[in-house]
Amino acid sequence: MPKKNLAICIPSGRFVDFGFFQSFANTIAETMFYCNTAVFTVASPMIFENRNELVRRVFSFEGKSGFAFDFMLWIDNDIVFNFGQVKKLLSHLEDGEDFVSGVYYNPKDGNVLPVAYFADGERYRWLEEKDVQNGGKDFGLLEVDAVGFGFCAMKMDLMREIFARHKPRPFNLRQLDDGSLVTEDQVFCERAKEAGAKIMLDSSIVVKHAKGYLPR
């Protein structure tokens, strides 16, 4: 089977945690052996514009090089991971899924919760640990309504469809009547679902923030 073509997208602020750098350094050689790989990164304090600029750069690279990507992998620069987790994430795409995320955690209202969501009207509610533990019985996969983009992958054709509909900003914020915001990750997931994709969470792929948020 020919190797797939992979775009790795890493939005960045001013600083990169050493835990992430070590993870990246320890996995990039195996990732490049597994897929034909190009890495894209943008640094600025506006994370949603970072993501939009990364998408535009990937498409620009394709246009200039004639190199068409099959998959797009997103990794935030504070995530600690290994190659086995990258490979398993990509294997779901090879098996036919359109969009799959690993599980990572953030503090929320005194708890530490997985960064994934179920829809609640125009808003979203965070999954709880019991949702992750009780769901995902089919090879660890659980369908959700939105995820954070800390460690996720999608088919490039899905991004092409979303970008065609929403360029130049496939990622965007949405303000609710009370002034609160629906995040760019959640808006993107809404657009992916409108394009016919399912948002899948693999409960067996547990990565962690460099700061150590990991309840299990």
Each residue of 146-158: pLDDT tens digit? 999 999 999 999 9
Taking all residues of the chain, what is their mean pLDDT, rounded to a whole number?
91
Mean local confidence (pLDDT), 111-117:
91
Q: What is the Cα–Cα distance from 199 to 214, expressed in whole angstroms?
A: 22
Question: For the chain, which residues make up each domain, given as ranges?
Answer: 5-209
CB 107 within 8 A of CB 148: no
The per-residue pLDDT for 171 is 96
User: pLDDT-derived band of residue 176, with 50, 70 and 90 as boundaries?
Assistant: confident
- Asked whether the predicted pLDDT for residue 211 surpasses 90, the reply is no
The per-residue pLDDT for 139 is 54
Name the DSSP class of 173: -
Mean local confidence (pLDDT), 75-83:
95
pTM over 0.85, yes/no: yes
What would be the CATH architecture of the domain defined by 5-209?
Alpha-Beta Complex (3.90)
131: left (phi over 0), alpha (psi -120 to 50) or beta: alpha
Give backbone dihedrals phi and psi of 17, rounded to 5 degrees, phi first. -70, 145
User: pLDDT-derived band of residue 216, with 50, 70 and 90 as boundaries?
Assistant: very low
Name the DSSP class of 110: T
Mean local confidence (pLDDT), 187-209:
95
Query: What would the pLDDT profile of 46-60 be if each residue is shown by its tens digit?
Result: 888 899 999 999 999
User: pLDDT-derived band of residue 61, with 50, 70 and 90 as boundaries?
Assistant: very high
Mean local confidence (pLDDT), 160-179:
92
